[in-house]
Amino acid sequence: MITLVVLRAYWRFWVVLRRFSPLIIAYWRDRRRFLLFGGSRQVDAETQRERAATLLDVLLTLGPTFIKLGQLLSTRPDVLPPVYIEVLSRLQDDVPPAPWDEAREVLEDELGPVDSVFDEFDADPISGASLGQVYTATYEGDPVAVKVRRPGIEPLVNADLRVIRWSLPIVKRFIDSGRAFSLENLSEEFAKTIRQEMDYDREREMLAEIRGNFADDDSVRIPAAYPEASGERVLTMEYIPGTKIDRIDDLEASGLDPTAVAETLQRAYLQMIIDDGVFHADPHPGNLAVAEDGSIVFYDFGMSGRVDPYVQEQIVEFYVAVANQDIDAILDTLIAIGTLSPEADREVMGKVMELAIADARGEDIEQYRVNQIIEQVESTIYEFPLRLPRNLALVLRVATVVEGVCVTLDPEFDFIETATDYLREEGYYEQTARDMAAAAGDQLEETARSLVTVPPKLDRVLDRAERGDVHLNVTIEDDTHVLDKLAMRIAYSVLLAVGVLSATILYSFANAWELAALSLGLSTPLAIALYRSFRSRKGIRARPQFTRQSMRERRDE
């Protein structure tokens, strides 16, 4: 029997298909101008921007799941072009709250009667999002914030996840194989991420871990959770009031220095990402406040992530390389992390990075911002295209958003100087130098060993060459199957020539025109196949994508 969830998913599928149909037809016409036939057509930047705005409206109309999907897509430059990333990055998870009666039902299913659990409870939420809403209350005499999962969200999300999974084959028809792979991985990642965000038990655990990491730091305040008044769909935590971090006038009126606040925020995220390996992943101004003493208060840990030690090491090396303007080291780090293919043209990518740094830096050598470099790299990621590890995409988004908040606080804020000072204070510069020295020592030792072992081996090789006893094995890499195509064309040509020659002989010398016609008939498919092999457009095509002029044009647009 078909379950109610599947029936709902079928209905949502048709709703989603109807909403997306204008975009689907537009993308289809990009491939076939007249849908069923005709050549492809080019799309200018303005048309792309209009389509991105249409996509944004569609995601907002389809509700919570697709709002979250749009937010995730805005962190994936390996899936969408830069114009779409820019438009979707404005997507705000701010929707009207559910009625109190419905929220109360969720709350009491988890904890019991509201009046018996809480001393006081304000039924008017202080914030509403697509997956949950937050209320203020008093618990055992303490002011608390109570986060309640949006009523009825689970069936809707489950149905929408089915719809997204069913829609993948349709979407993959309009993109190349590399992005299709990234999109399929993103679908699995999104299903995992949104279920994690709805699990308040997990959020409570992440909150407690990050709070423990900052236990000795008075400049950062993480709310404490109340496990006995929390559950899978309800999270009760300490309520810490503060001034919204982007209200500069209010901060200055309270005697706080916005530049100091920006530095505190930046150093907190450097510790979370580089030292702790677990971080708050949604640092928009609505989730950040400043207490009276200047400490920064973090809210909403539903979006949080982890960074494994290897990626942490590579991020440190990336920061050091950017500070030193070491282009080769930047490229090596990007390759090691997995954001840049080892087969990428280093000369081309080196020019991209040089231009990015030259455009971003000011008069002083360290007056440039890392997010501008990241944006340039993200633009190249879509066009190569490359695949981003999930947590690294989240780190890139966090770094960009945090830098934007810091610049709002202080337009002259120097991200690199703060990062450099932090790395130096924590001993990362010295550790990097020690690692480089150790690597150089190993290389020197290996070179010395080679000086002893290589000459005898070379002498033996030369003796064998003099005797004519040297065999050379050559392996040709043919990733584009050029040799296969060439061999196939030769085979077609030979068989076609044999068929035509046989028909000629049969007709001219044996006067067997029936056999001659049969021979020509059998040769016809070979002729068609040979013709189509030359008509195929699957050969190697290349065009320069990253020149200084094209990069400037992209930046101007």
DSSP labels for 200-262? HHHHHHHHHHHHHHTTT-TTEE-PPB-GGG--SSEEEEE----EETT-HHHHHHTT--HHHHH
User: What b/e string do you get for 291-321 counting C-beta neighbours within 10 Å, with b at 16 or more?
Assistant: beebbbbbbbbbbbbebeeebbbbbbbbbbb
Tally of CB atoms within 10 A around 497: 12
Higher pLDDT, 530 or 281: 281
What is the mean predicted confidence (pLDDT) over 384-389? 56
Higher pLDDT, 100 or 542: 100
Has residue 389 got a pLDDT over 70? no
What CA–CA distance (Å, rounded) separates 497 from 313? Answer: 63
Cβ-contact 245, 290 below 8 angstroms: yes
What is the mean predicted confidence (pLDDT) over 205-214? 95
**Token duo for residue 353:** 């990075």
pLDDT tier at 218 (50, 70, 90 boundaries)?
very high
Mean pLDDT (the chain) is: 78
pLDDT of residue 397: 74
**Token duo for residue 147:** 């986060």
Higher pLDDT, 388 or 101: 101
Note the pTM of the prediction, 2 decimals: 0.67
pLDDT tier at 540 (50, 70, 90 boundaries)?
very low
What CA–CA distance (Å, rounded) separates 388 from 334? Answer: 10
Give tens-digit pLDDT for 49-95: 898 999 999 988 888 888 888 887 876 766 778 888 888 877 766 67
pLDDT of residue 28: 76
Which is it for strands 296-298 and 304-306: parallel, antiparallel or unpaired? unpaired
DSSP labels for 446-478? HHHHHHHHHHHHHHHHHHHHHTT----------
- Sign of torsion, CA 341 342 343 346? positive
Has residue 149 got a pLDDT over 90? yes
Has residue 253 got a pLDDT over 90? yes
What is the mean predicted confidence (pLDDT) over 98-109? 92
* Termini Cα distance of the chain: 54
Return phi, psi of residue 525, to 5°.
-60, -35
Has residue 487 got a pLDDT over 90? no
